[in-house]
Homo-oligomer: A and B are copies of this chain.
Amino acid sequence: MPTPTIGVFDSGFGGLTVLRALLPRIPAAHYLYLGDTARLPYGAKSQATIARYAVDSARFLHSRGATMLVIACNTASALALNEIRAAVPIPVIGVIEPVVQMAHYGRQGSQVLVLATSATVQSHAYQHACALRELEAVEMPCPLLVPLVEEGWIDHPVTREVLHIYLAEALATCNPSAVLLGCTHYPLIANPITDMLRELGSRASVIDSAQATAHEVALRLGIDTPNPSAPPATFTCFATDSIEKFQRLGSHFLGQPIPKVELLDLGG
């Protein structure tokens, strides 16, 4: 099999948690990561605008040789997957299907709690994907979690208090068997989320979309288990705004330094 070139697209840095999960899972690949940082956040924008932006980025990654595309952005996965699939002649994987697929094993008929941004909740994309797999999704908008992660308040009393408020409100209305992290920023606070669930008496598993999506990509490529003797994966990053900020903030999400970022003008 030729080395695949996997394009990973997000509106910003959050999708780097998906790239972080992909690198060790599928090392025999080259990755092209595009953060459309000049136009983030997508969450506040209309469906038509988001689809237009996401299609621009998908076409760019295809033009640079991507043989598969990962839409590592919940908003674009919820609102623009059909438009992206129509725009490029390569497989396109969003972040919503994989995490719901992973949640559904052994949990048919149970409730799952989806934590996400307001835009993702308003799209009800998780509810629809869950309903197709006999899961009842309760969707909880958590608009403060992205800014808290970006502030770097990971293991912080304010983050715990905010999680307490959001999770106590959600658990008052449901008893989930799993909690789905429906935003690519949330894997960075997976531990505080698990801790707060336990404190509130829930035994729900926490499933993050980064791991689930990497697993799905590996299955599509026919890679059952990682090859430990493979050379380490290589990646190239593109951003539509401030290179310096992308390198500085992005390295927290990727969990390693980002040596080089190419500035890209997609217009707009």
Cα of A4 to Cα of B245 in the assembled complex, Å: 41
Minimum CB–CB distance for A164 against chain B, Å: 10
Cα of A44 to Cα of B11 in the assembled complex, Å: 12
Q: Does A37 contact B (CB under 8 A)?
A: yes
Q: Is the CB of A242 within 8 A of B45?
A: yes
Minimum CB–CB distance for A121 against chain B, Å: 13
Q: Is the CB of A49 within 8 A of B38?
A: yes
Stretch at the interface among A23-31, A107-115, A141-149, A207-215: A141-149
Q: Is the CB of B147 within 8 A of A241?
A: no
Collect the chain B residues with CB atoms within 8 Å of residue A40's CB. Answer: 44
Collect the chain B residues with CB atoms within 8 Å of residue A233's CB. Answer: none
**Quick one: CB contact mask for A14-52 with B, threshold 8 Å, 1 for yes?**
000000000000000000000001111100111001000
**Quick one: CB contact mask for A126-148 with B, threshold 8 Å, 1 for yes?**
00000000000000000110111
Cα of A268 to Cα of B38 in the assembled complex, Å: 10
Q: Is the CB of B157 within 8 A of A161?
A: yes
Partner of A45, one of B38, B144, B150, B165: B38
Cα of A41 to Cα of B42 in the assembled complex, Å: 11
Partner of A39, one of B242, B245, B268: B268
Partner of A143, one of B143, B147, B161, B241: B147
Cα of A38 to Cα of B44 in the assembled complex, Å: 8
Q: Is the CB of A241 within 8 A of B144?
A: no
Q: Does A158 contact B (CB under 8 A)?
A: yes
Cα of A38 to Cα of B49 in the assembled complex, Å: 8
- A45-B38, A241-B46, A242-B46 given; A148·B158 CB < 8 A: no
Cα of A72 to Cα of B117 in the assembled complex, Å: 27
Partner of A144, one of B49, B148, B245: B148
Tell me the residues in window 74-103 of chain A with beta carbons closer than 8 Å to chain B beta carbons: none
Q: Does A162 contact B (CB under 8 A)?
A: yes
Collect the chain B residues with CB atoms within 8 Å of residue A241's CB. Answer: 44-46, 49
Collect the chain B residues with CB atoms within 8 Å of residue A146's CB. Answer: 147
| 4 further interface pairs, Cβ-Cβ under 8 Å (given A39-B268, A144-B158, A158-B162) | A37-B44, A45-B241, A143-B147, A143-B150
**CB<8 Å pairs between A and B, sample of 9:** A37-B45, A41-B41, A45-B241, A46-B242, A49-B241, A143-B150, A144-B151, A147-B147, A268-B268
